Amino acid sequence: MTIKEAQEAVDRWIKEYGVRYFSELTNMACLTEEVGELARVMARRYGDQSSKEGESHDPSEEMADILWVLICLANQTGVDLTEALQKTFSMYCVLAQAKPIFASENKTQSHEKH
């Protein structure tokens, strides 16, 4: 599944099964809550905290929850996450003086040189 497909799938699910998107502020609070849940799992699985009986130790569940809410926020604010991630990769490549990661960046940079 591509990021674009994920954004489309979440949007379809919200429209078909969810009533509506939560407000942006509510989803931001939900995202913060999910990141906290991932932090708890990481602290207990890889850190010094002990687990409580019945708690999940699988960080993938919490990471997927974070991705879901992040996609909701992107959808409702009009952010194309594929484009945004490509821009971030480009920025890090420039900072690291590394070659571009995506083929489209190579074309853009070669056109800018001429």
pLDDT in tens, 8-59: 999 999 999 998 999 999 999 999 999 999 999 999 999 998 888 888 889 9
pLDDT of residue 52: 83
Helical spans, DSSP H, in the chain: 3-16, 24-45, 59-77, 81-95, 103-113
- Among 31-40, 69-78, 85-94, the least confident range: 85-94
Indicate the burial class of 72 (C-beta count within 10 angstroms; 0-12, 13-18, 19 or more). buried
Tokens found for residue 29: 């609070």
Q: Per-residue pLDDT averaged across 90-111, rounded?
A: 73
